[in-house]
Amino acid sequence: MDTKEWLDVKHKNDDNVKGGQTKSSRTDKWQKPGAEWVKCNYDVSNHAGRQDSGLRWIIRNSQGTCLDCGCGKFQGRQTIKEAECTALIWAIQCAWDLGYRRVEFEGDNITVNRLIRNKETNPRLRYYLEFIQQWSKAFTTVKFTFRHREQNVCVDVLAKKAVANHINHTLYHFCPRFLMSFVNKDAEHVN
């Protein structure tokens, strides 16, 4: 009973994120960025040790149009938080290289998001967080938000494609055919 109560409270707290983050439920759809912004959703599938892990990101504008996306493989990290930071760093660097300067980076790891937003320290993630903070200063405006995984199917589709086709790293400057129906579905439901 204690475990069930703890899980129920944790689930409720995850859905009512504090610190200025948008309240979300698992049934919400992808949400568009503000005018003159782009949103970069990123995610990772981590396998600790020497097994390949996947990372992916997608950049969309306020109409929901896919502008650029990428996916790739890397050697797994010890923790999911380290892997999430690795994916975010790659997404940040790609967004910068592609010329985006007002970017909302949205991920599904609430702990990593909180650490970045509140500029908290974490000994294990210290170098990742410092690197992310330094890169953040290069943008005109940047923000970090949290959304549940179910609210962005597109990054999962990218990951499955990368793993299925054994893709090391791929960058698309358009919406690939295999992703188009998912991006269009999100754009139909854009708030």
Spatial distance between the Cα atoms of 138 and 52, rounded to a whole number of angstroms? 30
Cβ pair 113, 107 in contact under 8 A: yes
Instruction: Indicate the DSSP class of residue 79.
Output: S
Q: Over the stretch 79-109, which tens digit does the pLDDT of each residue have?
A: 888 888 988 999 999 999 999 999 999 999 9
**CA diameter of the chain:** 52
Cβ pair 108, 114 in contact under 8 A: no
The dihedral of CA 182, 183, 188, 191: what is its sign? positive
Q: Over the stretch 33-47, which tens digit does the pLDDT of each residue have?
A: 999 999 999 998 766
Q: Over the stretch 108-156, which tens digit does the pLDDT of each residue have?
A: 999 999 999 888 888 888 899 999 999 999 999 999 999 888 887 888 7
Query: What fold, for 31-188?
Result: Nucleotidyltransferase; domain 5 (3.30.420)
Q: Is the pLDDT of residue 58 over 80?
A: yes
Spatial distance between the Cα atoms of 189 and 174, rounded to a whole number of angstroms? 20
Where do the domains of the chain lie? 31-188
pLDDT score recorded for residue 188: 80
pLDDT score recorded for residue 10: 52
Cβ pair 36, 63 in contact under 8 A: no
